[in-house]
Amino acid sequence: MKYEIFIREDQKPAPFYKKAIAEYEKRLSRYCKISYKLVRKEKDWLKLMNPEPGRLAFLVAAGKAELTSEGLSRMMADWEGSGVKKISFLVGPPEEEPRGEIPVLPLSEFTMPAAMTGMILYEQIYRGYRILHNQPYHK
Protein backbone atom coordinates (compact mmCIF):
# COMPACT_ATOMS: atom_id res chain seq x y z
CA MET A 1 0.00 0.00 0.00
CA LYS A 2 1.21 3.50 -0.82
CA TYR A 3 0.02 6.49 1.17
CA GLU A 4 0.54 10.02 -0.09
CA ILE A 5 -0.08 12.98 2.17
CA PHE A 6 -0.35 16.34 0.44
CA ILE A 7 -0.08 19.32 2.78
CA ARG A 8 -1.31 22.69 1.51
CA GLU A 9 1.02 25.20 3.12
CA ASP A 10 2.34 28.52 1.89
CA GLN A 11 5.30 28.41 4.28
CA LYS A 12 7.77 25.69 5.20
CA PRO A 13 6.59 23.72 8.22
CA ALA A 14 8.48 24.17 11.47
CA PRO A 15 11.45 21.80 11.89
CA PHE A 16 9.79 19.82 14.70
CA TYR A 17 6.96 18.79 12.33
CA LYS A 18 9.50 17.53 9.80
CA LYS A 19 11.38 15.67 12.54
CA ALA A 20 8.22 13.97 13.81
CA ILE A 21 7.12 13.05 10.27
CA ALA A 22 10.56 11.58 9.55
CA GLU A 23 10.31 9.46 12.70
CA TYR A 24 6.88 8.12 11.69
CA GLU A 25 8.10 7.45 8.14
CA LYS A 26 10.89 5.33 9.62
CA ARG A 27 8.47 3.43 11.88
CA LEU A 28 5.94 2.91 9.07
CA SER A 29 8.52 1.60 6.59
CA ARG A 30 7.92 -1.95 7.88
CA TYR A 31 4.21 -1.73 7.00
CA CYS A 32 3.77 0.48 3.95
CA LYS A 33 5.20 3.15 1.70
CA ILE A 34 4.31 6.64 2.81
CA SER A 35 5.40 10.11 1.76
CA TYR A 36 4.32 13.69 2.01
CA LYS A 37 4.59 16.63 -0.29
CA LEU A 38 4.02 20.31 0.34
CA VAL A 39 1.67 21.93 -2.14
CA ARG A 40 2.03 25.67 -2.49
CA LYS A 41 0.25 26.47 -5.76
CA GLU A 42 -3.53 26.66 -5.90
CA LYS A 43 -3.65 25.08 -9.37
CA ASP A 44 -1.70 22.03 -8.13
CA TRP A 45 -4.07 21.72 -5.16
CA LEU A 46 -7.12 21.86 -7.44
CA LYS A 47 -5.68 19.04 -9.59
CA LEU A 48 -5.42 16.87 -6.50
CA MET A 49 -9.11 17.44 -5.79
CA ASN A 50 -9.90 15.27 -8.84
CA PRO A 51 -8.46 11.86 -7.97
CA GLU A 52 -7.08 9.68 -10.75
CA PRO A 53 -8.48 6.16 -11.30
CA GLY A 54 -7.12 3.56 -8.89
CA ARG A 55 -6.49 6.12 -6.16
CA LEU A 56 -8.67 6.86 -3.17
CA ALA A 57 -8.49 10.41 -1.88
CA PHE A 58 -9.70 12.02 1.33
CA LEU A 59 -9.78 15.64 2.41
CA VAL A 60 -8.53 15.80 6.00
CA ALA A 61 -10.34 18.66 7.69
CA ALA A 62 -11.60 19.76 11.09
CA GLY A 63 -14.98 18.41 12.01
CA LYS A 64 -16.84 15.98 14.22
CA ALA A 65 -14.37 13.11 14.45
CA GLU A 66 -16.38 9.91 14.75
CA LEU A 67 -13.58 7.67 13.52
CA THR A 68 -11.60 5.91 16.23
CA SER A 69 -8.10 4.48 15.90
CA GLU A 70 -9.66 1.02 15.69
CA GLY A 71 -12.06 2.25 12.99
CA LEU A 72 -9.19 3.67 10.95
CA SER A 73 -7.35 0.39 11.36
CA ARG A 74 -10.35 -1.50 9.95
CA MET A 75 -10.53 0.94 7.03
CA MET A 76 -6.85 0.37 6.33
CA ALA A 77 -7.39 -3.42 6.31
CA ASP A 78 -10.28 -2.95 3.87
CA TRP A 79 -8.14 -0.78 1.60
CA GLU A 80 -5.36 -3.35 1.56
CA GLY A 81 -7.80 -6.09 0.60
CA SER A 82 -9.58 -4.03 -2.06
CA GLY A 83 -6.83 -3.80 -4.66
CA VAL A 84 -6.47 -0.04 -4.30
CA LYS A 85 -2.80 0.84 -4.77
CA LYS A 86 -2.72 4.44 -3.51
CA ILE A 87 -4.46 6.38 -0.80
CA SER A 88 -4.07 10.15 -0.89
CA PHE A 89 -4.82 12.43 2.02
CA LEU A 90 -5.22 16.12 1.21
CA VAL A 91 -4.48 18.26 4.24
CA GLY A 92 -5.52 21.80 3.56
CA PRO A 93 -5.66 24.96 5.59
CA PRO A 94 -8.27 25.00 8.37
CA GLU A 95 -10.72 26.98 6.24
CA GLU A 96 -10.57 24.47 3.33
CA GLU A 97 -14.02 23.47 2.12
CA PRO A 98 -14.75 20.08 0.54
CA ARG A 99 -15.01 20.18 -3.23
CA GLY A 100 -16.16 17.62 -5.72
CA GLU A 101 -16.43 13.96 -4.87
CA ILE A 102 -13.69 13.73 -2.26
CA PRO A 103 -14.96 12.50 1.11
CA VAL A 104 -13.90 14.33 4.26
CA LEU A 105 -11.93 12.51 6.93
CA PRO A 106 -12.15 14.57 10.14
CA LEU A 107 -9.33 13.89 12.61
CA SER A 108 -10.37 16.38 15.27
CA GLU A 109 -12.81 19.14 16.04
CA PHE A 110 -9.82 21.34 16.80
CA THR A 111 -8.63 23.81 14.19
CA MET A 112 -4.94 23.15 13.56
CA PRO A 113 -2.31 24.26 11.07
CA ALA A 114 -2.04 21.92 8.08
CA ALA A 115 1.47 20.76 9.04
CA MET A 116 0.28 19.72 12.49
CA THR A 117 -2.70 17.90 11.00
CA GLY A 118 -0.33 16.09 8.62
CA MET A 119 1.89 15.04 11.52
CA ILE A 120 -1.11 13.73 13.48
CA LEU A 121 -2.31 11.84 10.41
CA TYR A 122 1.08 10.09 10.22
CA GLU A 123 0.74 9.16 13.87
CA GLN A 124 -2.77 7.79 13.35
CA ILE A 125 -1.71 5.67 10.36
CA TYR A 126 1.12 4.26 12.47
CA ARG A 127 -1.31 3.58 15.31
CA GLY A 128 -3.66 1.87 12.83
CA TYR A 129 -0.95 -0.51 11.66
CA ARG A 130 0.05 -1.34 15.23
CA ILE A 131 -3.59 -2.23 15.97
CA LEU A 132 -3.86 -4.27 12.74
CA HIS A 133 -0.84 -6.34 13.72
CA ASN A 134 -1.85 -6.72 17.39
CA GLN A 135 1.25 -4.90 18.51
CA PRO A 136 1.50 -2.46 21.42
CA TYR A 137 1.47 1.19 20.42
CA HIS A 138 3.80 2.37 23.18
CA LYS A 139 7.30 0.99 23.53
Structural domains of the chain ordered from first start: 2-132 (3.40.1280.10)
The CB density around residue 92, as the number of other CB atoms within 10 Å, is 22
Give the phi and the psi of residue 97 in degrees, each rounded to 5.
Answer: -100, 145
Q: Is the pTM of this model over 0.75?
A: yes
Per-residue pLDDT tens digits for 4-33: 999 998 888 899 999 999 999 999 999 999
Per-residue pLDDT tens digits for 95-107: 777 666 788 888 8
Per-residue pLDDT tens digits for 48-99: 888 777 788 898 987 777 888 999 999 999 998 888 889 999 998 777 776 6
If phi > 0 it is left, if psi is from -120 to 50 it is alpha, else beta; for residue 134 that is: left
Give which of 76, 82, 77 is closest to 124, Cα–Cα: 76
Asked if 101 and 56 count as a contact pair (C-beta separation under 8 A), the reply is: no
